[in-house]
Amino acid sequence: MEEYIKMNILDTEFMQGFIRMANDGWEQGWHERNGGNLSYRMKPEEVVQGKESFKEGQWQPIGAKVPGLAGEFFLVTGSGKYFRNVILSPEDSLCIIEVDKQGENYRRVWGLVNGGKPTSELPSHLMNHEVKKKATDGKYRVIYHAHTTNVIALTFVLPLKDEVFTRELWEMATECPVVFPSGVGVVPWMVPGGREIAAATSELMKEYDVAIWAHHGMFASGEDFDLTFGLMHTVEKAAEILVKTLSMRPDKLQTIQPEEFRHLAEDFHVSLPEKFLFEKQGTQSTAPVEKQGI
């Protein structure tokens, strides 16, 4: 047990998984300059692993109240830090923070050795962590925000509606409704980093694991690094296929139909909300018929 506690924090499995995910996102081209952010809610045994390296900093206001996260520890990317540097200098690019017993303040206990603060999107991350922790009985631990190129492009040409984005992305690859069966939510453009966008996103996260920020990127949540990165990757790949399809012609000669989605759901044992299985006005339409009231 003593060797377990004194283990170098950079060699821990959760730290290595976090670093790998950050680097994978950089290599996908989703993190230009200091774009994007990542956070992970640590397990109690992981906090024990890191305790030897912790140094308690000053309490700072979160900018939001998250009582459901009282006493929790998070590994997060730093504000103004570059994803491309995480693998090279994690102690400078990342930090571990502790949330106080009221869920109103945080303090840095590790990392950002050259100074700095956690990501400016910290209120969004923590508010969404609180929602997903409650909704999944504590299973979800990762929140990931990236500037996914093709999803951003689609927010300029598709109606900013959950139903439209979900249906169009589902149609792009058979695996999509299996990977994100609850669909995706869409947040209209808002100033990033504030409480307004944090509240809007956390409201969508009660229903979805993915929220698209118009003209900005994606927010995704999952149980672990692989599932969360895989979710983001799948949605962005579907968006890339749609962008290519629309660049070839404005309509589709054929696509997956509502009844075929229902058969797929039955065979793969997933539940697909009927609100996404509307009848379209022809294959070129990206909106449900008027009688749907959307």
Start-to-end C-alpha separation, the chain: 58
Helices 122-135 and 195-204, interaxial angle, to 10°?
A: 20
- C-alpha triplet 14, 19, 24: angle, nearest 5°: 125
Q: What's at 261, amino acid-wise? A: F
CA distance 86 to 155: 29
CA–CA distance, 18 with 63 (Å, rounded to integer): 25
For 87, 150, 157, 268, the CA distances from 15, given in Å and listed in that order, are 11, 29, 39, 33
Give DSSP secondary structure letters for 21-84: HHHHHHHTT---TT--EEEEE--HHHHHHHGGG------EE-SS--GGGTT-EEEEEBTT--GG
Going by the DSSP 8-state scheme, the letter that residue 276 receives in this structure is G
Length of the chain: 294
> Catalytic positions, please?
121
Six-digit token string for 40: 């992970």
Q: Output DSSP code: residue 280.
A: B
Tokens of 203: 């409201």
